[in-house]
Amino acid sequence: MHLDVFTAGNSPIHRLDPRLRLLLFLLLALHLAITTQLPILITGLTLSVGFCLLARLNLAQLGSRLAVIAIFVLLLWLVLPFSRNGVQLALTLSLRIFTLVLLAVALVATIPILQITAVLQNWRCPALLVALLFFAYKYLTILHDAYDQLRRAAKLRGYQPSMSLRSFRTLAMLIGMLLVRSLEHARSLQKALLCRGWTGRFPGYELQPLSMAHWLIGTSAVSGWVMTVILISRVSG
Amino acid sequence: MHLADGVVSAPVLMIGTLAAVAVIGGSIRKSNPDQIPQMAVFTALFFVVSLIHIPLGPTSIHLVLNGMMGILLGWSVIPCLFVALLLQAILLQHGGITVLGINVLIIGLPALGARLLYRFGTSKTGSSFLPGFTAGLVGVLAAAGLMMLGLLGSAAEFQNIARLLFVAYLPQAIIEGVITGFTVQFILQVQPDLLTEI
């Protein structure tokens, strides 16, 4: 699909087991999301940049994602410094926001959605959510194409998005039409699933246990991070 | 209408996530697993609609339409939003994975309220545009309010930013109200059973 731009590749990060990537992300992200110590945040940012470089990501795409976030960070810097402790807070937040985005791109956005679905099923995530993720992803492409088609049709008839009641009405009809058409699709899919004895779980999604090498990488990465954090806390007193 | 990863403080993150787990768990029980294909369509629709830009002055507006999602989906809107926001976080880096639960609450709770408002409105007035408009308007305003709450609970310094964001969402609330009203009207004309599908 055209939206997952970071999943293709054969870098060391891409070769890492998806479960390991998700676990590492969750551990690091949760720690970095709550820490307020600048040295740890700076180390985290360096590490995230390192992961991104290691994953050899599409830089143009990465840049466009970061640009959106930069706008929000800019807003923070425009408003926050006028309050007490504002500069400190703005600095902490900017570091944290960029660190977490880069970490998410390197470790999570590099995993294809279907593999994430498999991991979630193996982690005993509620079956409804797993199935919903699978089918919603499938419909994303279909609906996006259908939306493009309807929008092109509207454009050919002279539609231009603007701040007018007429424009909103057209948009509402477009969204309504999209809904009506794709729900037809969903109803037939529902019948097909029920006919084939759908129980809400995907067979054949069972993953092999993690290999020894992956366990080794995982434990050394986590203990490495813990030691770095302890070291930083010691040095910065 | 998302909080990004790393913005909220540790207590807000913890309380919000715990509350989200409870709400998501409860809503899964109220959802019918046989209707997963339909729910998936609504989830994908939410994602696609968020890609629509409407030019407004020098900037543009991204539609959220959480009020409309609430009208169409009822309790099932919560698992749908969870998946849609997860997809947005992974594919577009909008929002974030650590704040996923909080974002589900910010967008989902107003969606549930919007459904009640719409039901109440249609039973009182018999028309569909006005209740749809109200549901769309309140959906965005309440979400902006919850977002403000999350920011203010994280740091008192956020006061100005929170106010700024709330004002920025006022025009969006009106536009979403109009679009929700028209969409509900359209669905009632073309395929009324769609409103009671889930």
**Same domain as A174, residue A99:** no
**Same domain as A16, residue A86:** yes
**Same domain as A96, residue A158:** no
- The reply to whether residue B40 touches residue A139, judged by beta carbons under 8 angstroms, is yes
Q: Which of A129, A162, A186 has its CB closest to that of B83?
A: A129
Mean pLDDT of chain A: 89
CA–CA separation, A137 vs A190, rounded Å? 16
Q: Which domain holds residue A174?
A: 125-195
Q: Which DSSP state fits A207?
A: P
pLDDT (mean) for B12-30:
95
**Same domain as A130, residue A105:** no
Residues in chain A: 237
pLDDT (mean) for A205-231:
87
User: Quick check: B55 pLDDT over 90?
Assistant: no
Pairing of strands B53-56, B59-62: antiparallel
**Same domain as A144, residue A99:** no
CA–CA separation, A202 vs B43, rounded Å? 19
Q: How many domains does chain A have?
A: 2
**Same domain as A6, residue A107:** yes
CA–CA separation, A139 vs A143, rounded Å? 6
Contact B137, B177 (CB under 8 A): yes
Q: How many CA atoms lie within 13 A of B58 on its CB side?
A: 1
Domain boundary among the residues A81, A111, A141 is at: A111
Q: Report the pLDDT value the prediction gives residue A237, as an integer from 0 to 100.
A: 65
CA–CA separation, A108 vs A92, rounded Å? 23
Mean pLDDT of chain B: 91
Q: Is B133 helix (H, G, I), strand (E, B) or coil?
A: helix
Q: Which residues of A touch B10 (CB under 8 A)?
A: 33-34
The distance of B123 to chain A (nearest Cα, Å) reads 22
Q: Which residues of B touch A72 (CB under 8 A)?
A: 4
Q: Which of B39, B82, B90 has its CB closest to that of A109?
A: B90
Reported confidence tier of residue B58, pLDDT bands at 50, 70, 90: low
Residue A118 lies in a domain: no
- For B171, the closest chain A residue by CA position comes to A163
Residue A34 lies in a domain: yes
ipTM of the complex: 0.92
**Same domain as A91, residue A145:** no
pLDDT > 90 in chain A, percent: 49
**Same domain as A164, residue A99:** no
Residue A224 lies in a domain: no
- For A180, the closest chain B residue by CA position comes to B191
**Which range has the worst mean pLDDT, A17-26, A78-87, A151-160, B111-120?**
A78-87
Q: Which residues of A touch B175 (CB under 8 A)?
A: 163, 168
- The reply to whether residue B56 touches residue A101, judged by beta carbons under 8 angstroms, is no
Q: Report the pLDDT value the prediction gives residue A204, as an integer from 0 to 100.
A: 67
Domain boundary among the residues A89, A111, A133 is at: A111
The distance of B124 to chain A (nearest Cα, Å) reads 24
Which residue bears the tokens 């600095």? A91
Residue A70 lies in a domain: yes
Contact B33, B129 (CB under 8 A): no
- The reply to whether residue A100 touches residue B98, judged by beta carbons under 8 angstroms, is yes
> What phi and psi, each to the nearest 5 degrees, are found at residue A215?
-60, -45
Interface test with B, best of A91, A178, A179 (most B CBs within 10 A): A179
CA–CA separation, B148 vs B142, rounded Å? 10
Q: Report the pLDDT value the prediction gives residue B98, as an integer from 0 to 100.
A: 94
Domain boundary among the residues A55, A77, A111 is at: A111
**Same domain as A98, residue A20:** yes
Q: Which DSSP state fits A8?
A: -
Residue A6 lies in a domain: yes
CA–CA separation, A122 vs B43, rounded Å? 23
CA–CA separation, A81 vs A118, rounded Å? 45
| Cross-strand bridge partners of residue B54 | B61
**Same domain as A87, residue A13:** yes
Q: Which DSSP state fits B97?
A: S
- For A130, the closest chain B residue by CA position comes to B83
- Calculate ∠ Cα B93-B140-A137, nearest 5°: 40
Residue A92 lies in a domain: yes
**Same domain as A72, residue A94:** yes
CA–CA separation, B35 vs B46, rounded Å? 17
Say how far residue B87 (Cα) sits from the centre of its chain. 15
**Same domain as A168, residue A140:** yes
Q: Report the pLDDT value the prediction gives residue A233, as an integer from 0 to 100.
A: 85
- The reply to whether residue A135 touches residue B197, judged by beta carbons under 8 angstroms, is no
